[in-house]
Amino acid sequence: MRTVRRTKIVATIGPASREPSTLLAMVRAGMDVARLNYSHGTLAEHAETVRRVRSAAGEAGRPVAILQDLPGPKLRIGPLRDDLVELKPGDRVTFSCGVEEIGDNQRMSISWVGLASALHEGSIVYLADGSVRLRVKAADPARCEVDAEVEVGGSVASRQGLNVPGPVDELPAVPEEDLALLAHGESIGVDMVALSFVRSPQDIEFVRRHTRLPLIAKMEKPQAVEHAHEILKAADCVMVARGDLGIELPIERVPIEQKRLLELAGRLARPAITATQMLDSMVRSSRPTRAEVADVANAILDGTDAVMLSQETAIGAYPVEAIAMMAAVAEQAEAIAPYERWNAERVLRTDADPAYTLAHTLCLAARELSLDALVVPTLSGRSARLVSAHRPTVPIYALSPGHETVRRCGLMWGVRAASMRRHETTEALIADAARRVVELGWCRPGQRVGITAGLPSGRPGTTSLVQIQVL
């Protein structure tokens, strides 16, 4: 029997992947979550992308979640003439703050008027994901201009980010523009939201007051790393966004922080995404480098729930092949990942919550009774998430009457999800769950499975029993 991949794949949709035929091929190749980067594209384009992803998922017969990635308080340069300029060491660049105008290799605009006040002579700023470094020669708040000299050159494209290492307290944690974009995402039916440049759990709690969508904390700032435990407890999921993190922190610390964050996410039962430049050479090449393959494999061996493609699928020449390669690497890494040890050793926080204990008990039963699968009826997806965090060595099958919940399971390690009817009694719920996994072809009659359920039935967050059943 073919091995079923358990690590999930997040793929960014962009100009290279928006066509319906490409999206269908990406879903068939293994895309579990489609990411919409709201730092680029128009609202109309994102709405159409959602429609196309839903259509492709329906045609392929696979649920696909849609992740809205908000820009956050990131500084971005304005449009550039011909969309690209080349900066050379020694070039002088003036940043005009608080305006938007067509720029070139001598003058660029930046939307935030406060940049000139936040910088001083000698400050370092980065462009193009850290590949271009400039040193500030003069900052004039009165003229709203910053003059800088290029120390490390390279290509810079329109709308790319400008990074100022260290805290910039004047920047709002959650810009008003993000709340407007959040409302748009909800209106077109996104399934989850990623918050950029989170600095504290209060950032998560603020956005939580404006939406009921699951929130993903992107770990990109030193302050986020410092307060990781509190941030992860406040969030529903975490993304280790290594691009900006590698600019904000000494780059040699990034692999260590990645391992620490993935371990913490596992112990707090928060799904984790590892992101940025995982197969970056596949933007141009049909094959990744050996180092990139090792990077993906090591993230899986560290315990990530999902791995993410950014430019590879958004603007790359081989979006479908990048997903297929990611899936192939994941299957190989999973064959040697220490899931059995994690399943036996991992102890999640409980907070006196019986759902954590029930998830642990279900996974313990799977190991000690040699069960064939774990069946998890769920309204919100929470029970499936807790079971997934224990990394059981048998399949996890989530069943839900909520289509959004079915799609959101696409971010949970090892969880395969489908729809089922809502039931008024726990007995009917268990009986229908057993019937449904056989009907779907996931299990065979005569196999022995563990099933979770709640009392009373039909209320989220009431997981309270485990039943062992022969199908």
Q: What is the mean pLDDT of residues 273-278?
A: 96
The angle at the Cα of 442, spanning 437 to 447, to the nearest 5 degrees, equals 80
Q: Which residue has the tokens 């594209």?
A: 41
Return the residue matching tokens 């407007």.
Answer: 180
Give residue 436's region: left, alpha or beta (phi > 0; psi -120 to 50).
alpha
Cα radius of gyration rounded to whole Å, the chain: 23
In terms of pLDDT, which residue wins out, 248 or 364? 364
Decide which of 455 and 419 is more confident: 419
Confidence category of residue 113, pLDDT binned at 50, 70, 90: confident
Give tens-digit pLDDT for 360-418: 889 999 999 999 999 999 999 999 999 999 999 899 999 999 999 999 999 999 999 99
Task: Point out the catalytic residue in the list 218, 407, 408, 436.
Answer: 218
Per-residue pLDDT at 114: 84
Judge whether residue 252 has pLDDT over 50. yes
- Residue range 329-354, pLDDT digits in tens: 999 999 999 988 888 776 666 566 77
Percentage of residues of the chain with pLDDT beyond 70: 94
Tell me if residue 276 is catalytic.
yes
Task: Return the pLDDT at 224.
Answer: 93
Question: What is the DSSP pairing of strand 75-76 with strand 65-69?
Answer: unpaired
Query: With helix as H, strand as E and coil as C, how does the chain read?
Result: CCCCCCCEEEEEECCCCCCHHHHHHHHHHCCCEEEEECCCCCHHHHHHHHHHHHHHHHHHCCCCEEEEECCCCCEEECCEHHHEEEECCCCEEEEEECCCCCECCCEEEECCCCHHHHCCCCCEEEECCCCEEEEEEEEECCCCEEEEEEEECEEEECCCEEECCCCCCCCCCCCHHHHHHHHHHHHHCCCEEEECCCCCHHHHHHHHCCCCCCEEEEECCHHHHHCHHHHHHHCCEEEEEHHHHHHHCCHHHHHHHHHHHHHHHHHCCCCEEEECCCCHHHHCCCCCCHHHHHHHHHHHHCCCCEEEECHHHHCCCCHHHHHHHHHHHHHHHHCCCCHHHHHHHCCCCCCCCHHHHHHHHHHHHHHHCCCCEEEEECCCCHHHHHHHHCCCCCCEEEEECCHHHHHHHHHCCCEEEEECCCCCCHHHHHHHHHHHHHHCCCCCCCCEEEEEEECCCCCCCCEEEEEEEEC
Residue 76 annotated among the catalytic residues of the structure: yes
Catalytic residue among 54, 76, 208, 233: 76
Sorting pLDDT into bands at 50, 70 and 90, what band is 463? low
Catalytic residue among 5, 6, 8, 35: 35
pLDDT at 176: 85
The per-residue pLDDT of the chain, averaged, comes to 92
Q: Is the pLDDT of residue 166 over 70?
A: no
Q: Residue 185: is its pLDDT beyond 80?
A: yes
pLDDT band at 1 (very low <50, low <70, confident <90, very high): very low
Average pLDDT, integer, range 237-262: 92
The Cα-based distances of 320 to 51, 63, 110, 443 in angstroms read 19, 17, 35, 30
- Domains for the chain: give ranges and CATH numbers: 8-72+174-335 (3.20.20.60), 75-163 (2.40.33.10), 340-470 (3.40.1380.20)
Predicted TM-score of the model (pTM): 0.90
Q: Is 187 exposed, middle or buried (0-12, 13-18, 19+ CB in 10 A)?
A: exposed
pLDDT of residue 137: 96
Residue 144's region, left for phi above 0, alpha for psi from -120 to 50, else beta, is left
pLDDT at 229: 96
- Give the active site residue among 49, 276, 304, 378: 276
